Amino acid sequence: MNDGAGRMRLIGAVFVLLSAAIVYQMIRIQNSEHSRQLVEMFARTYNQQVRIILPERGNIYDRWGNLLAGNKEVYEVGIAPPQVVNPETVARDLAAVLDVDYYDTLHKAESFRKEGNERYELIKDFVPADKIRQLEQKLAEYENAEKPKKGAPPSLAGVYWKAHLIRSYPENELAANVLGFYNFLDRWNGRGMLGLEEQYNNLLAGNKQQVVLPLNPTEIQEIPEIPPGASLITSLDRDIQAAMERIIDQAVKENGAESGTLVVMDPKTGEILAMATTPHFNPNEYWRYDEIFPVGSYFNRAISQLYEPGSVFKVLTMAAAIDAGAVQPETPFVDVGAIEVGGIWIYNWDRGAWGPQDMVGCMQHSLNVCLAWVAQELGPTQFYKYLQDFGIGRYTGIDLAGEQVYPLSLPGDSNWYPVNLGTNSFGQGVATTPIQMITAIAAMANEGKMMAPHVVKAYIQDGVQYTVNPRVIRQVVKPETARTITEMLAVSLENEASNALVEGYRVAGKTGTAEIPGPGGYTNMTNASFVGWGPVDDPRFIVYVWLEKPTSSPWGSVVAAPVFSQAVEELVVLMKIPPDEVRQQLASP
């Protein structure tokens, strides 16, 4: 009896000790460092997911809502090796559909079986949607197929695809020099380059966010709604842009020019309606940038390429002189064919003497001698003050990345000589961009008010559209001066029976021909330009044409003026501007 009780106590003690040992071991394991790390690792890996949410990049529209830059659906395709059932099928189908290497894909598909690789393997990114439809079709075929009696069934198990967006430009080359591009192949660190894409990169990109999401479905956590980047509504008119690109391409071709630039602006608001430059570029294939723009060339000549504008600059000189009261349109001038400024002789473009002229005649015949005299009458202080007011040597502040400027040499500067007063008066010895010229001269078509040039008309952020209001830079000349200059230039075109004239519409304008400086002085090559606006009584557009190094003729009046006329012919149709006569009839009661 006693023996039995003793045995029972012994067995009981053994069980108690065993239980105590199990409890001790459980507590020890639970509290060990290794266990803590293991639990943390599992929590990190399996309990939550870290996601970087990239907001949709904002769209870019023209002024009528036509999409110029949007986003396109593409896919990332990858393999989860542990889930692959049939590596051969996976490798064969992916190689056939995605055009990837069969053996490399097979190696990745088999990597779990052979090496125990559990890591997700990327096969290809930026796969178009139609390729994914092919894979989906194959997936459906395998699911519906009968299972073989031996071996693994054909299967795409373990293959995953996930959609994401890339930048797309549906109009291809249209307005590409204004839009810039987005290097979408760099998926996580892409950014806008040049043009609007660079200028408004932060606004378009929005704010990316990193979120930690629990995988446990009971721990509901809202994925924060990341608003898309802001969209831009530009002042560009798609149809006008297309027409201007067509016209400048044709002009470059016909005149054997090295490049061409054509800018159309609304002088009353500073809105850019079209900005066409050559060469063209397709931002959908931005990796070809270096081929199209070798080192030293310009993406957007209208804002980046500095050049001596030549006689179009005379508009500014004459406006300054009339505004300051130094001359009047009727002021007589006897042109003897040469004038000495700062000890250097200045001649006319044809080296001829044009005899008695008034200021209209000086502009009509584009007489360098006369304009040098006008600048002298105005005096250097006044002349350069006006040029600075016109924004020469200063950034216009256009909302496009890449604007260039060349500082204006002023009296007292080490690189300014007295002769500069003469040469600058007719646009030589001074470097500007087309956007600077059109901005300054547009004041003549807007009662003397110079408007800030801009491309963005409105933007949409968080579902609300904000309008960008036009901004006056300054009243650079008096309204009557602007009207006088417009009238003088309209009369001079009519007197000359210029190639720039457009039937039914009265326009004002000025040609420009500037010799291009080379290493040993000026060369025979020229920059041919024309600036014009209309209709004279109520200007709705100003057009700047520049052909670089034309070979058909060096003169702006021969090569650039017809381009202006052609542009206006299209503009009046696209902008629905009735001929002057009709407009006046409609306006009269």
Partner 1 sequence: MNQRIIQAYRQAPWRVQLQWIGLFLLILVAGMLIAGVYLYVSGRAAETGARIKALEVEREGLAIRIADMRTQLALLNSSQVMLERAEKLGFRPVEREDLVYLPAAGVSGREVVFLAPPPTSVMRENKLLRPAYTQSLWDLFYQTAYQYLNTRGGQGQ
Q: Which residues bind partner 1 (CB under 8 A)?
A: 56, 59, 61, 63-67, 70-73, 129, 163-165, 168, 170-172, 174, 216-223, 225, 231, 233, 238-239, 242, 457-458, 460, 463-467, 503-504, 569, 572-573, 576, 578-579, 582, 586
Residues 382, 387, 388: CA angle, nearest 5 degrees: 100
DSSP label at residue 432: B
Q: Which CB sits closer to partner 1, 231 or 423? A: 231
Q: Which CB sits closer to partner 1, 243 or 408? A: 243
Minimum CB–partner distance for residue 571 and partner 1 (Å): 10
Structure tokens at 399: 């909302």
Output b/e per residue, 395-421; b: 16+ Cβ within 10 A: ebebbbbbbbbeebbbeeeeebbebbb
Q: Which CB sits closer to partner 1, 264 or 315? A: 264
Q: Which CB sits closer to partner 1, 429 or 532? A: 532
Asked if residue 180 lies in contact with residue 107, where contact means CB atoms within 8 angstroms, the answer is: no
Asked if residue 409 lies in contact with residue 459, where contact means CB atoms within 8 angstroms, the answer is: no
Q: How far apart are CA 180 and CA 283, in angstroms?
A: 7
Output b/e per residue, 70-85; b: 16+ Cβ within 10 A: bbeebbbbbbbbeebe
Residue 573, CA distances (Å) to 240, 358, 508, 541, 566 in order:
10, 36, 19, 13, 11
Burial class (CB in 10 A: 0-12, 13-18, 19+), 2: exposed
Rg (the chain; Cα; Å): 36
Asked if residue 196 lies in contact with residue 456, where contact means CB atoms within 8 angstroms, the answer is: yes
Preceding peptide of 128 cis, ω within 30°: no
Structure tokens at 300: 């957007």
Asked if residue 143 lies in contact with residue 99, where contact means CB atoms within 8 angstroms, the answer is: no
Minimum CB–partner distance for residue 68 and partner 1 (Å): 8
Q: How far apart are CA 314 and CA 489, in angstroms?
A: 11
Q: How far apart are CA 26 and CA 582, in angstroms?
A: 98
